[in-house]
Structure 1
Amino acid sequence: MPLPELHGPGTANHMGDMIEFVTVSSANLTARNRVAALSDDGVLILQQRMVFTQTRLLLSLDRFHSQMAPTFIELELQEEWAEEALASVAEDGDSSAIIDEAVKQYQSWLDEDSAGRRDALKNVREHSRIRREVRQHYMSLYS
């Protein structure tokens, strides 16, 4: 997948290798190593193309989105949580360590069994409630 001038006109060209399916260790996916991330639509189009390439079955993007919506919301809120954590500390701190700790806190908060938050993400009607709770919680931690 060509990524020409990824960071703007006159910048380096990059490419993504979409031929080989391999598992990558999370340790190799640090913010420092990352040069790009797909938008939600980009993820959906990539999934649609991969399924079509392997099966010749063309599914609508809406079908993929209905399955991915809980993950998209989870990641959106995780990013907000990490950004709030970063904003609350001095600029000379180790941003990777701050982000790693914030992600751990967020995932632990989601997994608190008594609240059932992770399961609630599977229900689109619960998304606004979960968003509200996440924002209230990270504001109480970092403000």
Structure 2
Amino acid sequence: MIARSQLQRLLLPIRRLCIRLHRSDKGSGTVVGVALVMVAATLVSVMSGAGHVAVRHAQARSAADLAAFSAALAWRNGRRDPCSLAGAVAEGNNASMVSCHMEGEHMGDVEVSVTMHVGVPLVSKVVASARAGPSACD
């Protein structure tokens, strides 16, 4: 059987190693805390950017809807160039008209595409389209 003093001598290097490891562990909680704060800040930034893109896309859809409706109404009322009105309406809503197509005879459908600047890294702009015109009578 091993005497108590012999056991203490055998465990002494292990004890010293544990003390040394415990001392080297000081401050690691701070590093983990800083890392968690950075991860949380990154997630908040990403979610904020995604929310901003969603809001700007909704604004672009509204601008496209209004521009298409204005152009279709102008075409119905006999205006020669309803696409210029659609462009002016889009500009008034902080969007830029990309395309404007009129289909059919007088009083046909108008399709308008607009783009809007977002200002978020990786997503510079959003594009939305809308179509307006009279409904078919049966």
- Give the TM-score normalised by structure 1: 0.25
Q: Report the structure number with the largest CA radius of gyration.
A: 2
Specify which structure has the bigger relative contact order, considering alpha-carbon pairs within 8 angstroms and separated by 6 or more residues. Answer: 2
Bigger share in strand: 2
